[in-house]
Chain A
């Protein structure tokens, strides 16, 4: 198995979770992961100054952006859920005994896309601000201000919901 190949299989669940953070639909997430793996295997890794995970996240994200752009150009309906539909972030998938967790999942689903993916990359995947900036192709200052906004918004939303529930 190639070097990329041996690193790729263990990373699949995390790639799929990032894909869900981007598109929120399970089938589309599977397609994005498959496409990212295909691209990664076809092209030798160019940038060695970011982690393998960051490199793969960037390939997956670029694939998603390309797909949105192509669909827009062709005038096709974008087969992602409407903003009112939380898709994979529907709290109903969480057992009722864990109500707050369900509300947290939904609050994450309601965040703007760019804030949601940043929360995942830094707070969950533990990418450095710099690696996250590489994945998103953004200045590090933008990453930090956007991430701080996302964390504050999530804490406020869940805090309010929790207050109402208790």
Chain B
């Protein structure tokens, strides 16, 4: 099962999003023959700076049993966290992950081994173990490494790792005081700031040699409200491949207000009715739906293995004519953006569905090779402990032409989905389920009472045909951590206002 993590008591913290979200319309500025460098004062254990000679030696060792392709992935990641709850800074934390993963491909076979020990002997042994997957007489030699040119899709001026935790704490305090003052029914305010600072090096036997420095930041506010027997929660966040210059107390205030607004709005919510209804999805906050319900089924591993419900649908109409879907790793500053993916392929914008027709899939290197397709920059992995698999980056439904007001007016009785929470999908049947964190009844074209416990249930192939109206107001806001095959990866998503003519709603009453 693939799912957007639904963290349990800290649910709202893991869901993360990106505010604003104009999509970069211009071509990226290519910085030829230079690596994305970590900031000068970011400490990297010098052991991870493997020399060209060492990388080439490891690639050679990895091919020593006759493998067709070898790759070395080196990672050094620092994660900083600070959180506030119950009017106190709960704690500050820091983590360091460092290691080398070595992969050898041979036909459809993958050999993988990793090590967190950087001694030359240990690395050589790791390369040898990964190479064992192949047992061929013909030994290939790796091509000499050439530094790759790296595009730049991150928006980082100030590295968050260089900011002392006391400064980050000021953001948390601001959000806390604004959140608590928002309404007297507010009971708890939790605020957290996390930054991930990751230096990766990818070198492969075809001569690719790429380095990237990735920064992902997130400020999240979660608020609980209580009134008599009634309870509710609200949350909001900003995140992305963004430097610390994007965070200030004013932003913290905005996030806290929005989280407070949602908690108070949902306090009087009534049980949702079950059954089939039309729904309207709010712009920006429901993109997870497309990531989950459709995106996973368009990842090339399931296509190649013929286990995805869309495996034989390329070139066919799989959606209504107004439906176009993209996976775009080049959105400036978005959480899922990649200068290069975890195989050294530059991030790309890939149209998956064009006016209803299935036109492409998402590829990593292995599946692209086996399926004779072009790379799309979607070979991603959680860490050096994992081999890459096809994964989404920033996935969104493209803008349409319908007036958002008309979309709402067209629904006599249905639901307005203001924010989608977590969800999951079976890629075999395409069946999905989502919980809705903020939802309302629509009666005669107007948003009326708030509803709790709404679940959206359906299947990707079915729902795609029921997308009947799409607005022009695309926003890429929602983002989070996607789980697949035991690997967690940051992604984001987006959508314009849209209408689905019919979907199964789960609720507590008939």
A associates with B:
no
